[in-house]
Structure 1
Amino acid sequence: MKHELTLLLVATQFLTRLPLPALRRFDPDWLHQSSRHFPGVGLLVGSLCALAYGLGEFMFGPLVAAVMATALGVYITGAFHEDGLADTCDGLGGGLTRERALTIMKDSRLGTFGTLGLVLALLLKITLLASLSPAAAMAALVLAHGGSRLACISLIALLPYGGDPEHAKAKPMAQQLTHAQWWLASLWLLLPLWLLWPLFSPGAWLLAAVLTMLTTLHMYRLLKRRLGGYTGDGLGATQQLAEIAIYAGLAAQL
């Protein structure tokens, strides 16, 4: 249990900018192992964003609340996943070959494809959240942040690393996740799903699940075909798109 708590701390330090106590010692392999706690970190981020939404909705209304919640998520994570989405859009949109796409994705400059992808993703998240009731929007934030990170690490379990492991920004993340680790990661979502189930109709739950799986499958096929596997930027893009998919499923008026 102590080791798992350490891994949770490592995962939180890797994915967020939250002020946390420093580790007395660090094993690089812990970063790879900590990926099974990424959904737990997502639930934490989503809960903080839900609080921001509740405050914003009380003071200003749903649209401003949605912007506040989205902005807080970007701030807490340091735009970690948004950066991955923009780089992936630039790389896959402007690179005709695998090598060229990887080169573009390493470039810190933002291109047309990345700008468009980032702006459209933020607009979708904000408008979908604003279309929900306050309680449903707060629940959706928690579920989407947790569930999208499970979708993200699914690619680590299904694909090899697509870039050069020696030049990876976080080399331990260039290792594949075992299926057992993926199942452990999925346990993070059981309690939130049980608690928040009554807030949405069965049709909304089903649509959210289907859209998330289709999004993850699309990214799996796209990254495998274009890059030969996942990259850190590809994982960030998957998280962002899966988050939108969950909002869309829960917000759809069936």
Structure 2
Amino acid sequence: MKKELRIFFTAMMFLTRLPVPRFADHSPDYLERSVKYFPLIGWIVAAISGFPFLVFNKYISEDIAIAASIIAGILTTGAFHEDGFADVCDAFGGGWTKEKILLIMKDSRLGSYGVIGMIAILFCKFLLLKELPKFTPDLQNPSLNIFYNYRYFLLTLIAAHSVSRLMPVLVMRFYDYVSDPDGSKSKPVATRKPTIGALLVAAIPALVPFAFMSWQFLLAIITVVYAAFSLAKYFKKWIGGYTGDCLGAIQQVSELCFYLCMIIIWRYII
């Protein structure tokens, strides 16, 4: 049990800036095993992101609440995935060969493509999150329990953060890691592929939220998987596989696709 706790806290230390117990360390072996807990870390990020939404939405406004939720998520992860997405935008936007793409991706400086990509993805995330509360049936006859009123919104948030973090784990299983290992922040995670057992463990927290929603929402996972593997296929075409930044981009795009699919299902299927 203590070993599993160390592996879990290693995942938390890798994906977030949250404090962890002193017995957790940067062991490469534990980091390799920690991928199975990535979706569970998504639960924590979602919980931290959802709380300021509830507070600011009650006392100020919905727009401020959504902005506060996004900022809370960024502060929790240290913009870990957003940074990867921005680097991917710079690299694939400005590079035309594998060597050039990988070189740009390792550059710590942010270029025009990265800035535009960051603005675009945060803007899209804001608009999509703004639509979600409108499809919460409980708002028509709200109770005194704010968590109950927004349970569908909160469940969607949890599902989005966990499912989107499951996608990089799947890509790691079926695609190869590329780039210079010594220059990558994902080196320990990428040295071996996740096992089938690890994938099953990772899938559990990603699927649990759907037990409290209509089964039709499971359709969103199909679109997210398609989007994630389409990106992985694109990365393989240009650089032969994925890098740590590519995984961050996959997480961000998967999260947006999930929100979009949930809105479409809410509006046209349920």
Q: Which position in structure 2 is the counterpart of 1:144?
A: 160
- The normalised TM-score by structure 2 is 0.87
2:257 is matched with which residue? 245
Out of 153, 160, 178, which is 1:162 matched to?
Answer: 178
Greater C-alpha radius of gyration:
2
Equivalent runs, 1:29-178 vs 2, <5 Å? 29-133=29-133, 135=150, 136-175=152-191, 176-178=193-195
Matched, 1:192 2:204: no
Alignment root-mean-square deviation, CA: 1.6
Aligned to 1:226: 238
Q: How far apart, in 2, do the equivalents of 1:62 and 1:24 lie?
A: 38
Deviation for aligned residue 1:137? 2.8
Match for 1:214 among 199, 217, 226? 226
- 2:154 is paired with a residue of what secondary structure? helix
Cα 1:213–1:190 change in 2 (3 A) is: closer
Please, which moves more after superposition, 211-220 or 95-104?
211-220
Q: Give aligned-pair identity as a percent.
A: 35
Q: Mind listing any 5+ residue stretches in structure 1 that lack a counterpart?
A: none
Deviations 1:209-229 (Å, cap 9, x if unpaired)? 232012112111011111111
Q: Do the aligned residues in 1 keep the contact of 2:106 with 2:183 (CA within 8 Å)? A: no
Matched positions, count:
249
**Cα distance per residue 1:139-194 (max 9 Å; x no partner):** 22111111100012111111111112233224212222223311221112233221
- Cα deviation, residue 54, structure 1: 1.1
2: CA distance, partners of 1:129 / 1:205: 19
Q: Retained in 2: the 8 A contact 1:205–1:249?
A: no
Q: TM-score, normalised by structure 1?
A: 0.92
The runs of 4+ residues in structure 1 deviating greater than 4 Å are none
